[in-house]
Amino acid sequence: MSIRIAEHVRDIPRSGIRDFFEIVQTMDDVVSLGIGEPDFATPWHIREAAIYALERGRTGYTSNLGLPRLRRSIADYARKKFGLCYEPLSEVLVSVGVSEAIDLALRALLDPGDEVLYHEPCYVSYAPSIVLARGVARAIRTRAEDEFRLTAAALEDAITPRSRVLMLNFPTNPTGATMSPGDLAEIAEVCIRHDLVVMTDEIYSEIIFDDGAHTSIAGLPGMKERTIFLHGVSKAFAMTGWRIGFACAPAALVEAMMKIHQYAILCAPIMGQDAAIEALDRGEQSVEKMRREYEARRNFIVRALNDMGLACHKPKGSFYVFPNISSTGLTSREFSMRLLSEEKVAVVPGTAFGPSGEGHVRCSFATGLDQIKTAMERMAGFVARAK
C-alpha cells in the first residue's frame, strides 16, 4: 500500500544541511564548521537551577502560555535588553524554541495564498514553514556588497497586493548581517505604508561584536502593534537542547497563537522553562563570557579566510561567516563536498540557505579556536590547489 502524503508536504525538499551532515557523520576525523549551535555546555548555574527544580518535583504541565514567572522574566529581559514593553500575562507566549514560535505566528496570520517576504540567504526553516502554513514564500535577495542587509528599495520592489508579512532575522543566519537603527527605520516606514506585519527573529541579538548595540525593529515608532518579536535561549545562553523560545506580540495575536500551541503542543517543557528563568534573570555574565570568545574566533576566521583569497565581510553579529568561494571556480556544493572529502573539513553550501547563497559557504565559529585553526590550514591548502 502506498500512503498518500499531502501535496504541500511532499513537495518540500529536505533540509540541505541535514543531507550534508548525514555524509559527515559517516566520516572520521572531520573538523566541522557546520554546526549552528554553541560548542559550550549550558552555564552551570542554569543547569543547577533546573536540577534543583527537578529535585523539588517540578515535573508537570504548565499554563499553556508558559509559567507566569517565566513570562515576567521574559518581559523584564525584553525591557532591559531591548527597550521593549510587553505585558507579561497577555503579550508573551513561551514556545518550544523559536522554531515553534515561527510556525505558530505564520499559522495564526496566514490565509491560503498570502505572501510572506523574507530576506535570503536565510535560516533553512523559513520558506518551508511558510509553505506548511499555506502561505506563498517570496525571497528577497540580499547581496555581499551590502553586507547582506535588507534595503528598503529591495523590499519595496518585492511587495505585491498579496504581501502580508515580512520576516526579518538580524543578526542573520547564515550571513552574520546586522542592521543599523537607520536601516531598520527605513524598513519600518515601508512596512507601515504597506500595512505589513513583521516577524522579527532576533535569536542572535546578544552575540554582537565591536562594542556594537542591537536594535529591535519592534521598538521603533509605530512598530510594536504590527510586530511579533521572536527570541529564545538557544543561542546566547547555549541552551539549544532545552527547547525554549518565546513570542511577544499584541494580545490578540498571542491569543491566536496560543490556540494552535494549546492543541498541538500543550506547553513547553517545564524543565526548560525553569532553566530559562535562571538564564534570563541571572545569565548576563555567562553570555558575555561566551560572546567575547566568539569575537576572538570571528577575528581569527575572517582574517584567515581573506588571507587565503576568499573574500569575507566581517560580521558584526551571530557566530557565522559567509565567505565568497566563487574565485575557486566551484559551486558552493562542489566546494563543500570536495573540501569534505579531500581535507575533512565540513562547511555548509550557501545554497542550503536559498538559491541566493550560491557562490558562498557558511562557516560557523561556534567551535573551539584550535579546531578553527586546523580547519583554516586545511582549507587554505584546498583553495590554493583549486584556484
Ligand X SMILES: Cc1ncc(COP(=O)(O)O)c(C=O)c1O
DSSP lists the bridge partners of residue 199 as: 167, 228
**Residue position matching grid coordinates 548525514:** 22
* CA distances from residue 86 to 62, 96, 126, 246 in whole angstroms, order as listed: 21, 20, 25, 12
- Least distance from ligand X to the Cβ atom of residue 69, Å: 20
317 is an interface residue for ligand X by CB under 6 A: no
Give the residue at shortest CB distance from ligand X: 97
Q: Is 273 in the site for ligand X (CB under 6 A)?
A: no
Q: How many helices (H) and strands (E) does the chain have?
A: 13, 12
Among 123, 170, 237, 382, the residue binding ligand X under the rule CB under 6 A is 123
The answer to the question of residue 371 lying near ligand X (CB under 6 A) is: no
Nearer to ligand X among residue 155 and residue 203 (C-beta)? 203
Residue number with CB closer to ligand X (42 or 99) = 99
Write down the least CB distance from residue 174 to ligand X, Å: 8
**By the rule CB under 6 A, 234 interacts with ligand X:** yes
According to the binding rule CB under 6 A, does residue 99 interact with ligand X?
A: yes
What does the alpha-carbon distance between residue 269 and residue 271 come to, in Å, rounded to a whole number?
6
| Segment lying near ligand X (by CB under 6 A), choices 91-99, 105-113, 131-139, 370-378 | 91-99
- Give the nearer residue to ligand X in terms of CB position, either 170 or 382: 170
Instruction: Give the x/- contact pattern for ligand X in 25-54, rule: CB under 6 A.
Output: -----------x------------------
**121 counts as binding ligand X under rule CB under 6 A:** no
Q: What minimum distance in Å lies between the beta carbon of 84 and ligand X?
A: 18
Choice between 81 and 338, CB closer to ligand X? 81
205 vs 328, beta carbon nearer ligand X:
205
Q: Contacting ligand X (CB under 6 A), which of 62, 73, 163, 173?
A: 173
Residue number, 127 or 304, with CB nearest to ligand X: 127
Q: By CB under 6 A, name the one of 94, 98, 108, 191 that touches ligand X.
A: 98
DSSP 279-333: HHHH-HHHHHHHHHHHHHHHHHHHHHHHHTT------SBSSEE--B-GGGT--HH
- Pairing between β-strand 92-95 and β-strand 245-248 as defined by DSSP bridges: antiparallel
Output DSSP code: residue 208. B
Binding status of residue 201 toward ligand X by CB under 6 A: yes
Among 48-56, 62-70, 93-101, 285-293, which window interacts with ligand X (CB under 6 A)? Answer: 93-101
**Cβ neighbours for 169, distance < 8 A, ≥ 6 positions apart:** 118, 119, 122, 123, 126, 200, 201, 202, 203
Our finding on whether 320 is near ligand X (CB under 6 A) is: no
Instruction: In angstroms, give the least distance from the CB of 149 to ligand X.
Output: 16
DSSP H helices, the chain, are: 7-10, 16-25, 44-55, 68-82, 97-109, 126-132, 152-158, 181-193, 251-264, 270-282, 284-307, 332-343, 369-386
d(CA 128, CA 173): 16
Options 151, 163, 169, 351; binder of ligand X; rule CB under 6 A: 169
Least CB distance to ligand X at residue 270 (A): 17
By C-alpha distance, which of 165, 272, 179 is closest to 228? 165
**Residue 245 contacts ligand X per CB under 6 A:** yes
Q: Does 269 bind ligand X (CB under 6 A)?
A: no
Q: Cβ distance 113 to 161 under 8 Å?
A: no
- Could you say which DSSP state residue 219 is in? G
Q: Report which DSSP code applies to 218.
A: G
Mode of pairing for the β-strands spanning 31-32 and 345-346: parallel
Determine if 203 is a binding residue for ligand X (CB under 6 A). Answer: yes
Angle in degrees, 0-180, between the axes of helices 369-386 and 332-343, rounded to the nearest 10: 110
Short-list 95, 98, 378, CA closest to 235:
98
Q: Of the listed pieces 41-49, 92-100, 147-155, 306-314, which binds ligand X according to CB under 6 A?
A: 92-100
Binding site for ligand X (CB under 6 A): 36, 97-99, 123, 169, 173, 201, 203, 232, 234, 240, 245
